[in-house]
């Protein structure tokens, strides 16, 4: 039995928390000056807002009977400025797969769902932001055909 992707429902919330928590802890370990430890990073109010949103969507990946990953994405119009070409961009704000299920097709299935959703909405591109420490994720996105467009750099002052 393979991975099945479907829209998230209210009943999924408790099953998503361990995935969000694991992802948050990975980020907090790598960047403790940016990410808080001990939180799932998926407040229930935010989750319920996603389910009701017209501009954002959340999908879950199920393997057998367990939710093993999720993705949150939305559609936005790039600001119309003289220097930028007007574009509609689908943006993945969060994608996570349990470490125990990485490399088993869940991330691929979620990414494919994002691509299909973005195309159905008339998006010109599918974008995301990834932290530099997350080399596995960068390699995954590159395997999906994504490339880097810009880099945010930082200088700590404290």
Both tokens of 28, joined, read 């907090």
Helix/strand/coil percent split, the chain, to 5: 35, 25, 40
pLDDT at 81 over 80: no
Is residue 150 a part of any domain in this protein?
A: no
Residues 19, 99: Cα–Cα separation, whole Å: 9
Q: Which domain holds residue 12?
A: 3-143
What confidence tens digit (pLDDT) does each residue in 125-142 have?
A: 999 999 999 999 999 999
Is residue 7 a part of any domain in this protein?
A: yes
Phi, then psi, of 127 in degrees rounded to 5: -120, 165
The number of C-alpha atoms within 13 Å of 74 and in the hemisphere containing its C-beta is: 13
Is residue 149 a part of any domain in this protein?
A: no
Both tokens of 104, joined, read 């088993």
What confidence tens digit (pLDDT) does each residue in 91-103 have?
A: 999 999 999 999 9
What confidence tens digit (pLDDT) does each residue in 27-69 have?
A: 999 999 999 998 888 999 999 999 999 999 999 999 999 999 9
CATH number reported for the structural domain that contains residue 16 in this entry: 3.40.630.30
Is residue 148 a part of any domain in this protein?
A: no
């Amino acid at each position: 039995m393979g991975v099945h992707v479907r829209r998230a429902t209210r009943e999924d919330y408790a099953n998503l928390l361990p995935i969000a928590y694991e992802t948050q802890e990975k980020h907090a370990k790598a960047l403790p000056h940016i990410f808080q430890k001990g939180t799932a990073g998926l407040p229930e109010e935010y989750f319920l807002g996603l389910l009701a949103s017209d501009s954002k969507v959340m999908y879950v990946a199920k393997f057998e009977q367990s939710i093993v990953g999720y993705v949150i994405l939305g559609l936005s119009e790039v600001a119309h400025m003289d220097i930028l070409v007007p574009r509609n961009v689908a943006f993945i704000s969060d994608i996570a797969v349990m470490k125990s299920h990485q490399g088993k097709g869940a991330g691929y299935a979620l990414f494919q769902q994002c691509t299909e959703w973005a195309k159905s909405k008339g998006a010109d591109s599918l974008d995301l932001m990834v932290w530099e420490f997350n080399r596995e994720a960068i390699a995954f996105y590159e395997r999906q055909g994504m490339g880097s467009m810009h880099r945010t750099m930082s200088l700590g002052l404290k």
